[in-house]
């Protein structure tokens, strides 16, 4: 099996996995919405949708879904309904999330082997920070998180899964095209403009939500880590080593302060570059001159 075939299969599998997670999320949100909006005596005809309580319920779900955890606390999303929903969601998606997020370690292997153009250090940082949040602050304390309101899990799950569905769709198309064309076509000849647009625009909203949810998860786990002495090593020992995981988490949190604006501006730059290239490409297509088109410059696909 060639590298290109493997990359296509990998991306397609992860696209499938993340779509599964995203659908699970949709189903749960839909169920919650239905429960909240249509549980009353009012029927589910069109007229009732416009009635005030229904509008209220809808805005409640939408706001709760898309707002980062600190904002949710500010808006008072802490009642038992909401808590039950988040706990339910945790139970139905955590295992899937663990599986498909852990598999992405393979991406680091791809980068190290030079199969993809992404830099190994950036890829390692991205994957490790996610796995760190997922395994050590959420999965480890899942049972106590399920009992708290505004655990941040919903924000985390929706930001991550929506980003990844689009990202892997992009890479699936790209790797299929590069496999089928033998690497002759460039990125913007393979990927439809709308998909490129989604890939380089959704982060504008999802990135702040995802990052705030990650920070929230770590902050929430800090007292639990201290209580349980999780991953703690004390002196004295013959290797003269000590490790305090809550201190490590606090230092990692400080890393978000310079990291966030840096990454966000880096992604804004990438957005401009890719969308410009894509629009140039689609303009060329529209012109459809009989003269052979000059191939668009190859862009870094990371």
Partner 1 sequence: MSLSVQHRSGKELLRLPLQGPGAVQTVDEVKEALQRDGPRVHWRRQRLTLPSTATKTSSVRGVLESGHRLDEYGISVKSAQTEYVVHFKDLGPQVSWRGVFVAEYLGPLVLFPIIFIAQLGGGDAFKGWDRAHPYQRAALVAWTIHFAKRELETLFVHRFSNATMPWRNLVKNCMYYWGFAAYVAYFVCHPQYTPVASHAQFWAGVVLFSLSELGNLVCHWRLRQLRPPGTRVRQIPHGFLFEFVSCPNYTCEVVAWLGFNMMTQTVAGTLFMIVGAAQMMIWANGKHRSYLREFGAMYPRFRKRMIPFLW
**Closer CB to partner 1, 205 or 242, in the complex:** 242
Separation of alpha carbons 243 and 260, rounded Å: 26
Shortest reach from residue 236's CB to partner 1, in Å: 4
Catalytic residue among 24, 207, 256, 264: 207
**Closer CB to partner 1, 1 or 239, in the complex:** 239
Q: Is 238 in the site for partner 1 (CB under 8 A)?
A: yes
* Binder of partner 1 out of 241, 268, 297, 302 (CB under 8 A): 241
* Binder of partner 1 out of 2, 45, 143, 240 (CB under 8 A): 240
**Closer CB to partner 1, 109 or 251, in the complex:** 251
Q: Give catalytic status of residue 60 as yes or no.
A: no
Task: List CB contacts of 121: < 8 A, sequence separation 6 or more.
Answer: none
Q: What b/e string do you get for 243-264 counting C-beta neighbours within 10 Å, with b at 16 or more?
A: ebbbeebeebeeebeeeeeebe
**Closer CB to partner 1, 194 or 241, in the complex:** 241
Q: Is 237 in the site for partner 1 (CB under 8 A)?
A: yes
Q: Is 242 in the site for partner 1 (CB under 8 A)?
A: yes
Residue 94 · residue 139 · CB < 8 Å: yes
Separation of alpha carbons 131 and 141, rounded Å: 14
Q: Is 80 in the site for partner 1 (CB under 8 A)?
A: no
Point out which span in 149-157, 172-180, 233-241, 292-300 binds partner 1 (CB under 8 A): 233-241
Shortest reach from residue 241's CB to partner 1, in Å: 4
Nearest residue to 27 (alpha-carbon basis) of 88, 99, 94 = 88
- Tell me how crowded residue 216 is: count the other CB atoms within 10 A of its CB: 23
Q: Give catalytic status of residue 214 as yes or no.
A: yes
Residue 164 · residue 18 · CB < 8 Å: yes
Instruction: Give the residue numbers annotated as catalytic, written as ranges.
Output: 207, 214
């Amino acid at each position: 099996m060639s590298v290109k075939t493997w990359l296509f299969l990998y991306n397609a599998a992860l696209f499938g996995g993340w779509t599964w997670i995203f659908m699970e999320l949709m189903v749960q949100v839909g169920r919650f919405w239905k429960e909240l909006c249509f549980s009353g005596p009012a029927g589910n005809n069109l007229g009732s949708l416009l009635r005030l309580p229904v509008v209220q319920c809808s805005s409640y779900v939408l706001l709760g879904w898309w707002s980062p955890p600190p904002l949710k606390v500010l808006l008072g999303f802490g009642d038992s309904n909401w808590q039950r929903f988040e706990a339910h969601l945790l139970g139905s998606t955590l295992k899937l999330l663990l599986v498909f997020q852990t598999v992405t370690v393979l991406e680091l292997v791809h980068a190290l082997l030079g199969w993809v153009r992404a830099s190994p250090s950036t890829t390692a940082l991205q994957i490790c920070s996610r796995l760190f949040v997922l395994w050590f602050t959420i999965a480890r304390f899942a049972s106590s998180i399920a009992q708290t309101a505004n655990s941040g899990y919903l924000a985390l799950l929706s930001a991550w899964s929506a980003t990844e569905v689009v990202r892997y769709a992009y890479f699936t198309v790209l790797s299929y095209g590069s496999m089928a064309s033998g690497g002759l076509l460039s990125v913007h000849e393979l990927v439809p403009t709308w998909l490129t647009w989604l890939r380089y625009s959704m982060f504008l909203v999802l990135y702040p939500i995802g990052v705030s949810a990650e920070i929230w998860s770590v902050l929430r786990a800090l007292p639990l880590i201290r209580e349980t002495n999780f991953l703690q090593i004390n002196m004295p020992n013959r290797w003269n080593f000590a490790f305090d995981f809550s201190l490590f988490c606090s230092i990692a949190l400080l890393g978000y302060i310079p990291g966030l604006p840096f990454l966000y501006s880096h992604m804004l730059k990438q957005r401009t570059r890719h969308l410009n290239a894509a629009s140039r490409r689609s303009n060329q297509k529209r012109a459809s001159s009989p003269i052979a088109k000059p191939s668009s410059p190859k862009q870094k696909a990371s």
